[in-house]
A and B are shown apart, each in its own frame.
Chain A
């Protein structure tokens, strides 16, 4: 007999704490039990938490992985990043849906299974992949697809499925300073503490370490601003919401070097005087939560977290793992903080910045996974040593997630300053037409730019490097990213909410072969609006794929145009279809030519 929603709401609260900032975690937990979030559970949660129900409904509706309507007992999600599409995921999705007699987006009549697409799940190096009930399945092929359909039909629990189906390989292809020597737990902390708190921050200044999330803000300056900000109870947040399409290097760091990441957080806490830490883990990486919890537990046992860390009086710091639930925008640091507080992931107005007004208004440092791991190197080897690596304005190394048309997809670590061409050669890329650097929000490079260097001086990047060879269509790549942004827009500001949708509409129109020259002018106007007027980086990055596409691959756009100054966006003849059905007419007057230019 199913337990009541009220009871489950209680249990979720007990499991997650009773504070409003745990709302998202409670909703995730509730959904684990019910499969979706029934209306009465939201009502109950509102009553017990003392929150307006509408606010809870607002949060539940924001995240792609939360469902306010019933979904299948097996929920199949197929990633539709351009890399996944190139790997054949749409074909496998079609095969599985036909096998199971289901339609994407709809729940099967027996409630057994539902299927849909989702944004990049961070498995671009794993062959065709998908999520089943939130778990990553990798290296899909026809045989595995058919076999999983059998198991679904038999109602077999995921725990009984072959473990190798869920195997995620690290695929580390090139090691440099960070990946070649994972520190012993406590080693970096000991080194920093030996220097003393102020001297440790000086060391960070000397290292020149800049944020690996893409923006490249000097980490030490961020820490110092947080340390010097007025306010109590500072917070350190690790941004593990690795949502940029085509990136997966944080996944590997969290798998291989979780200790270094947590130690980096602890080093940050020591520098700024924080006592509370969060790792915000994207929902797609939920399978990493348990092993990460185990690492945290081991660190507590070893005296590396908790009270009196390494015996130092007054050094208290611990880390909680919070899960995301399918929202790319939460990678933006102020949206991430909103999400951590159990709200909709809407980016905040800045200033004030998180270093002064962050989590619950407290001074907060938000750093990327890779940045925090690199801090350990600074602590162990010193700032000067670190600054001696890489290039002048980009010290240290960069992890790149390489996927697409390469022989060896995976994680590559290089000193900053490496040329794009060298990465392509190492990864076994042949006949490369285009490189998308930095994910959908990044930059699309053509062959004449492959000698440019990765680093803040020339090509800053969070590390996604997607490769497209001569078989690919740059227009399709750009259109895929544009649709991604339309799907992921939080909808807060007018230009992004509507503009990404309009832009996707124009790309669809061109894709259907209905483009006109006027549409290109409209697209360029929308690009400008999104760049100028958006509230946050998602909106201002959204036109990048089109801007670069039109800059480097204009013919790929132009060949989609009809030689017309105007072409309607909708199919005029199809718009008469319903009336034809109702009247039974099929005469000449019951049709419209979609291209009046033609005789």
Chain B
């Protein structure tokens, strides 16, 4: 008989402390649940939905669902992984994700997750939106084509840097990132390359200038180790 409260994750008992979410408890037990908008330094956000798990027939965000004693949770199962692949496909077709010409390639969580989950095709029709880049800042480039709206930069800049450089505006498929300046240019904000927000983007939107492609192909973070392993060490790619 178990001493502590626990739930079953893909058939294996995972203990948890009161108030822990499914994702946190799983992670503490060394079990990876895919995610993009979740980060250990921030409260759950629940927007990317990659951490979806099946709990008693309902599909819930593991990052936002409190662990419950005795719950039966399915994560790494074909049905859930198929839904995750479809969510990745949605993220790939709504933006412009051209990995070969992206300096975040090999360091990108979206790409790494798609690889691990076996996404071979974006499947749906591409939206090919027109999103100009913002190169106005001396040290940092913004390439909005790759934004997945995880709001990690919004949260990091607000909660850790105390600057609130980023926000989202508009809604639905027209939702997009804006910066804290009337001109709309990053160069007119107080953003700095050593801000926490400058290093937190899981994809290739916020890029420090003059360091791109520095790591050779084959040695990049996700070239050798899958995201399920890397993610358990640390969050930033």
Binds B, one of A143-151, A255-263, A529-537: A529-537
Could you show 7 A-B contacts with beta carbons less than 8 Å apart? A39-B182, A43-B182, A492-B149, A497-B149, A502-B125, A529-B87, A533-B59
A585 to B29, CA, bound (A): 66
Known: A54-B164, A55-B164, A533-B87. A498 touches B182 (CB 8 A): no
A312 close to B (CB within 8 Å): no
Most buried by A among B64, B86, B172, B181: B172
List, in ascending order, chain B residues with CB within 8 A of A61's CB: 169-171, 178
Is A501 within 8 A of B49, CB to CB? no
Q: Mark A234-265, 1 if CB is under 8 A from B, else 0.
A: 00000000000000000000000000000000
Is A535 within 8 A of B46, CB to CB? yes
Q: What band does the interface of chain A fall in when counting residues whose beta carbon is under 8 Å from B?
A: 35 or more
Select one of A489, A493, A533, A535 contacting B171, CB under 8 A.
A489
B199 close to A (CB within 8 Å): no
Q: What band does the interface of chain B fall in when counting residues whose beta carbon is under 8 Å from A?
A: 35 or more
B179 close to A (CB within 8 Å): yes
B180 close to A (CB within 8 Å): yes
Select one of B48, B61, B64, B171 contacting A62, CB under 8 A.
B171
Nearest CB in chain A: distance from B39 CB, A:
15
Is B124 within 8 A of A502, CB to CB? yes
A40 to B183, CA, bound (A): 10
Is A494 within 8 A of B170, CB to CB? no
Q: What is B's interface to A at a CB cutoff of 8 Å?
A: 44, 46-50, 52, 59, 61, 64, 66, 83, 86-87, 90-91, 93-94, 124-125, 127, 148-149, 158, 164-175, 178-182
Is B66 within 8 A of A351, CB to CB? yes
Q: Mark A503-545, 1 if CB is under 8 A from B, else 0.
A: 0010000000000000000100100010011110000000000
Is B90 within 8 A of A502, CB to CB? yes
Most buried by B among A42, A57, A329, A488: A57
Select one of B59, B90, B171, B178 contacting A327, CB under 8 A.
B171
Is B90 within 8 A of A52, CB to CB? no
Is A60 within 8 A of B49, CB to CB? no
Known: A42-B182, A494-B87, A494-B91. A501 touches B167 (CB 8 A): no
Nearest CB in chain A: distance from B173 CB, A:
5
A188 close to B (CB within 8 Å): no
Is A498 within 8 A of B93, CB to CB? yes
A329 to B49, CA, bound (A): 19
Q: What is A's interface to B at a CB cutoff of 8 Å?
A: 39-40, 42-43, 52-55, 57-58, 60-62, 327, 329, 344, 349, 351, 486-495, 497-502, 505, 522, 525, 529, 532-535, 569-570
Nearest B residue to A56, CB-CB: B167
Is A529 within 8 A of B175, CB to CB? no
7 extra interchain contacts, Cβ-Cβ under 8 A, other than A57-B178, A495-B49, A498-B90? A344-B168, A344-B171, A491-B149, A494-B47, A498-B93, A532-B83, A535-B47
List, in ascending order, chain A residues with CB within 8 A of B158's CB: 52
Is A497 within 8 A of B66, CB to CB? no
List, in ascending order, chain A residues with CB within 8 A of B124's CB: 502, 522
A309 to B108, CA, bound (A): 60
Is A491 within 8 A of B172, CB to CB? yes
List, in ascending order, chain A residues with CB within 8 A of B59's CB: 532-533
Is A349 within 8 A of B52, CB to CB? no
Is B86 within 8 A of A489, CB to CB? no
Is A525 within 8 A of B86, CB to CB? yes
List, in ascending order, chain A residues with CB within 8 A of B87's CB: 494-495, 529, 533
Select one of B49, B181, B182 contacting A535, CB under 8 A.
B49
List, in ascending order, chain A residues with CB within 8 A of B47's CB: 492-494, 535
List, in ascending order, chain A residues with CB within 8 A of B149's CB: 491-492, 494, 497
Nearest CB in chain A: distance from B6 CB, A:
20
Known: A491-B173, A491-B175. A52 touches B167 (CB 8 A): yes
Known: A58-B167, A569-B125. A497 touches B83 (CB 8 A): no
| 3 interchain residue pairs of minimum CB distance | A61-B169, A52-B164, A54-B167
Nearest B residue to A485, CB-CB: B172
Nearest B residue to A489, CB-CB: B172
A501 to B166, CA, bound (A): 25
List, in ascending order, chain B residues with CB within 8 A of A499's CB: 90
List, in ascending order, chain A residues with CB within 8 A of B93's CB: 498, 502
Is B182 within 8 A of A529, CB to CB? no
A58 to B178, CA, bound (A): 8
Nearest CB in chain A: distance from B55 CB, A:
12
Nearest CB in chain A: distance from B28 CB, A:
20
List, in ascending order, chain A residues with CB within 8 A of B180's CB: 52-54
Nearest CB in chain B: distance from A145 CB, A:
30
Known: A493-B47, A533-B83. A53 touches B181 (CB 8 A): yes
List, in ascending order, chain A residues with CB within 8 A of B171's CB: 61-62, 327, 329, 344, 489-491
Nearest A residue to B183, CB-CB: A39
Nearest B residue to A39, CB-CB: B182
Nearest CB in chain B: distance from A518 CB, A:
11
Is A497 within 8 A of B173, CB to CB? yes
List, in ascending order, chain B residues with CB within 8 A of A532's CB: 52, 59, 83
List, in ascending order, chain B residues with CB within 8 A of A43's CB: 182
List, in ascending order, chain B residues with CB within 8 A of A497's CB: 90, 94, 149, 172-173, 175
Nearest B residue to A505, CB-CB: B125
A498 to B149, CA, bound (A): 12
Most buried by A among B93, B148, B168: B168
Nearest CB in chain B: distance from A511 CB, A:
15
List, in ascending order, chain B residues with CB within 8 A of A489's CB: 171-173
A14 to B197, CA, bound (A): 35
List, in ascending order, chain B residues with CB within 8 A of A349's CB: 44, 46, 61, 64
Is A495 within 8 A of B167, CB to CB? no
Is B173 within 8 A of A529, CB to CB? no
Select one of A60, A501, A522, A535 contacting B169, CB under 8 A.
A60
List, in ascending order, chain B residues with CB within 8 A of A502's CB: 90, 93, 124-125
Nearest B residue to A61, CB-CB: B169
